[in-house]
Amino acid sequence: MPVTRIICRLFFLIISVILTSGCSLGFLGEKEQKTRIAGDRVSISSLDKELQIDDSLKDTRVSTPYPKVNKRWLQPGGNSSHSMQHLSFGDAPEIIWQVDIGAGSSGNTVLMASPVVYDSHIFTLDVSGKVRASDIKDGSLIWEFSANQQEKDSVFGGAISAGNGNVFISLGSGHLICLDVNNGREIWRTSSGSPLRSPASYSDDRLFVITIDNRTIAFSAQNGQRLWLHNGISEKAALLGAASPAIKNNTVILAYSSGELYAMKAETGSVFWGDNLGKTRRTAAVTNIADIRGSPVIDGGVVLAASHSGRLTALNFQTGRRLWERSIGSTSMPWVAGDFVYLISTNGEVICLTRSDGRIKWLTQMQKFKSPKDKEDTISYVGPVLAGDRLLLASSLGKIYSISPYTGKVLGETKLGGGFYIAPVVANKMLFLLDDKGVLTAFR
């Protein structure tokens, strides 16, 4: 057994002992947290001057919707609109199982496919193209499928989603594959002609995928027939992965690596409105990447999206009119819960804003560098997900964090193993985390 796997298993055993050794500790040790740990709140004066906690919200109390049980997490963002609100999750969960899903990240491949949960099954896709269906109760294998059995192309950038009794696999080779959710039988396979960047978003027997050259293609979920095509602006500089389209009321919201944002009719691909979240002024080369990496969210009559180049924007769902905008860069999906929006910025700031006008209620600065003294090795974060009255985040350090959605206080943290570059998944009152080594951990 490789040393890395042994170390990972040791982490698992140690954490299991900690989590089950007494009732004084809650999830991640959050109930008895006494010391101030890296990631607690800091003075706003030390941060970007544009990010100001709004004094008018001083007496405003943050509230969240009542948590609900979701049996499914069908794509990154949870559902087709990417609005999951507040999910049910226990007060003191424990690790109940841990499995190796297959090949993880290596020198020339990156594990990017977020797990999806369909009732009692959880589905994963490794970098070799192996699709694994596991039982969420114990992680046991139900079936496996090799997406590369008919081709030798790379699955770099592969993603997975589900809907209507099927699992959909999008590959870096440009292939889109439909499998039976119960047994992994291949139903159909088609090609987009270009590498696919995004998971396939499913709604009303249609699939919507985005290619590496910023084209959106709609397919029939029944037989893989191409329905329509939309061309965005081709962008040479882009981040790994892509936002998945958001869908509601026969309208698809598309986000491209060029910073373009479109609302389109799901049936025909006709454009209702468009916008661009690219930066208006020239700055450093890295911040000029306009990519909308985090999926857009449709919540009620509002669309929320954030670009890497520094724009968090709320728009009217029907007209595309901008409701408000903040100079916040992010590669994560905004998480909407009731009257508030939560986001992790590219600077490692966890931010709570009002949904109606984008005022900042609180801001928590997480550890930005692995070596704070030398300011080297930037730490990346994924999430947040609101579950069980806590915001859940994970980091490239292999840590998971619990943060109060009401105050921004870091409630607890712990280290699992490999780095996390895929956001946490919550379904059936369970938390699932997939690290870059290909180890899937389940909490309940």
Residue with the bigger pLDDT between 287 and 145: it is 145
Q: How far apart are the first and last CA of the chain?
A: 28
- Which residue range(s) make up the domain with 87? 3-443
Question: What local confidence, expressed as pLDDT, does residue 409 receive?
Answer: 97
- pLDDT one-digit tens code per residue, 119-143: 999 999 998 889 999 999 999 999 9
CA separation for the pair 207, 222 (Å, rounded): 10
Question: What local confidence, expressed as pLDDT, does residue 308 receive?
Answer: 81
- pLDDT one-digit tens code per residue, 377-421: 889 999 999 999 999 999 999 999 999 999 999 999 999 888 999
Band (pLDDT 50/70/90 cuts) for residue 35 is very low
The answer to whether the Cα torsion of 98, 102, 107, 109 is positive or negative is negative
Q: What is the DSSP string of 223-274?
A: T--EEEEEE----SS--SS-PPPEEETTEEEEE-TTSEEEEEETTT--EEEE
Rounded to a whole number of angstroms, the CA Rg of the chain reads: 21
Question: What local confidence, expressed as pLDDT, does residue 365 receive?
Answer: 95
Most distant pair of Cα atoms in the chain: their distance: 61
How many angstroms separate the Cα of 153 from the Cα of each of 128, 171, 174, 240, 386? 10, 9, 9, 18, 37
**What's the token pair of residue 69?**
């049980």
Query: Comparing C-alpha atoms, which of 252, 254, 305, 311 is closest to residue 287?
Result: 311
Task: Assign 3-state DSSP to the chain and report helix, strand, coil percentages, each to 5.
Answer: 5, 40, 55
Question: What local confidence, expressed as pLDDT, does residue 408 receive?
Answer: 97
Band (pLDDT 50/70/90 cuts) for residue 24 is very low
Question: What local confidence, expressed as pLDDT, does residue 372 receive?
Answer: 75
**What's the token pair of residue 187?**
């139903």
CA separation for the pair 80, 101 (Å, rounded): 25
Cβ within 8 Å of residue 414, ≥6 positions away: 15, 18, 28, 29, 399, 400
Average pLDDT, integer, range 262-289 = 76
HSE of 436, CA atoms in CB hemisphere, 13 A: 18
Q: Is the pLDDT of residue 32 over 80?
A: no
**What's the token pair of residue 302?**
């509002």
Q: Is the pLDDT of residue 278 over 90?
A: no
What's the pTM value of the predicted model, to 2 decimals? Answer: 0.86
CA separation for the pair 128, 319 (Å, rounded): 42
Q: Are 172 and 155 in contact (CB under 8 A)?
A: yes
Average pLDDT, integer, range 423-441 = 96
CA separation for the pair 292, 162 (Å, rounded): 23
CATH number at residue 363: 2.130.10.10
Q: Is 435 helix (H, G, I), strand (E, B) or coil?
A: coil
Number of domains in the chain: 1
Question: What local confidence, expressed as pLDDT, does residue 277 receive?
Answer: 83
Query: Comparing C-alpha atoms, which of 325, 319, 280, 216 is closest to residue 334?
Result: 325
Band (pLDDT 50/70/90 cuts) for residue 291 is low
Q: Is the pLDDT of residue 67 over 70?
A: yes
How many angstroms separate the Cα of 260 from the Cα of each of 65, 180, 289, 321? 31, 34, 12, 14
